[in-house]
Structure 1
């Protein structure tokens, strides 16, 4: 059997959306799936180098890898009224050039933050280290992502919601595009379509069996949070809107790319639809 490695982040939503495959609830004929979990910036950097065939990425990275990867329509995470948080110590006043910790240069939150706070002094670190860096005074503020937005220390407070920054930059209310999956263009088209179908089914099955799958993840210590927090977190980032991209989600991704191009992060404007796997190829090929 062909071994196919899927690289995703260690946060609970990615684990949840993949593990219907890991537990054998979904499979693909002739393929044995394996997985590896790495922090999102590491995944972004490896996508830039073309290391993995199927990899989780920040949406803000995609224009940089468009020639080598196609975005998948499934396993997507958006914020809708919520998202990453700019946090600081309670009562702290931030100067114009405050020092801030971000989770990686190519993350969506980093791009939006840098646009909103051009004078901030940015340092990058693993997302798991950001909260302690603020508490220890190594930085004045940090942007929390993943489960940390629900579990941060009571000595900290929110300076600003990334959702609010996004709405101001977008100029209208759109879901905040955070992360998704990308597949290498080196994979034959018919096989790439099959991979996308399988991963879509995995997210769909995970949602159908959310409570059972969550129990299994908790029993095996595969997530870093408790049951109530996991339930809440999955409704934020691995919900029914994660199964396949909707029209409004396409609009949001395109607005993100437009904003990034306007502020000099990309070399040309692009539309997400122009780079997707042409799923219609399968039916045309078999007609």
Structure 2
């Protein structure tokens, strides 16, 4: 049987590259499937998902409800955990100003939802890709913004002030882990179980060939510091990455219920 090429979309962040390293490097294969990868910022992926151009795609959990009819949510490969949420930061020591705009990494991101969950009031926002957002936050005094990915490990060194750990607020208020990023597979393919198994195998390969997986991560990471890359993987790649399990599924369903209620 001829092989089928699946269009894969993940972010260039270390956790995604690490989890998919076995697949990306051709170490984990399937006789009838191969993957053509594209790397997009999370909000760009959120915007691309409705077009159907990707067969397997990593998006924000907050963007999934609108895609339920087209995509299955896979139990493996995503980002969900504790102590790993987005941070609301400010350039300067002044307190948060709710009348001043807040930079966020995209309207459909979980980070944007968690900002609203914390603020409980309308805010003026400007949406930017997360790396552009961080550059402006770092260089423009008085700027307020929500930071995701590996920048959470570097903000203190860059002189930024923590206003609120939005993930910590979510955990304290709800008791649930934080659903950040989800892996989806197009339902029409009828391959969701197969893809989920391949992702688990790819993660297992990365864990047993860590040096090779980390070398691949360095090719794509925004911050090339080994300590930051490893800290990022250590925080975002966890037991939920292999399988959501009962606790992870409960967190996701509660998140969707809060999103619908809001």
Q: TM-score if structure 1 supplies the norm length?
A: 0.84
Rg (Cα) greater in structure: 1
Q: Where in structure 2 are there 5+ consecutive unaligned residues?
A: none
Deviation at 1:96, TM superposition (A): 2.4
Equivalent residue number for residue 145 of structure 2: 142
SS at match of 2:108: coil
Q: Per-residue displacement from partner, 1:180-229 (whole Å, max 9, x unpaired)?
A: 20011121x2x3322222122112222233344213543xx232322122
Q: Is 1:17–1:206's contact at 8 Å kept on the other side of the alignment?
A: yes
Q: Is 1:169–1:259's contact at 8 Å kept on the other side of the alignment?
A: no
Q: Structure 1 residues 139, 68: closer, same or farther in 2, change over 3 A?
A: farther
Deviation at 1:56, TM superposition (A): 0.4
**CA RMSD of superposed structures (Å):** 1.8
Equivalent residue number for residue 166 of structure 1: 170
Equivalent residue number for residue 177 of structure 2: 175
Deviation at 1:12, TM superposition (A): 1.0
Q: Which ranges of 4 or more aligned residues in structure 1 deviate by more than 4 Å?
A: none
Equivalent residue number for residue 92 of structure 1: 94
- Paired with 1:107 and 1:202, the residues of 2 have a C-alpha distance of 26
Q: Per-residue displacement from partner, 1:131-173 (whole Å, max 9, x unpaired)?
A: 2222343873111101111122532111000123212442xx2
Q: Where in structure 1 are there 5+ consecutive unaligned residues?
A: 264-287
Q: Is 1:8–1:14's contact at 8 Å kept on the other side of the alignment?
A: yes
SS at match of 1:147: helix
Q: Structure 1 residues 72, 91: closer, same or farther in 2, change over 3 A?
A: same
Deviation at 1:249, TM superposition (A): 0.7
SS at match of 1:78: strand
- Paired with 2:187 and 2:226, the residues of 1 have a C-alpha distance of 38
Equivalent residue number for residue 17 of structure 1: 19
Deviation at 1:129, TM superposition (A): 1.0
SS at match of 1:163: helix
Q: Per-residue displacement from partner, 1:110-132 (whole Å, max 9, x unpaired)?
A: 01212322232111000001122
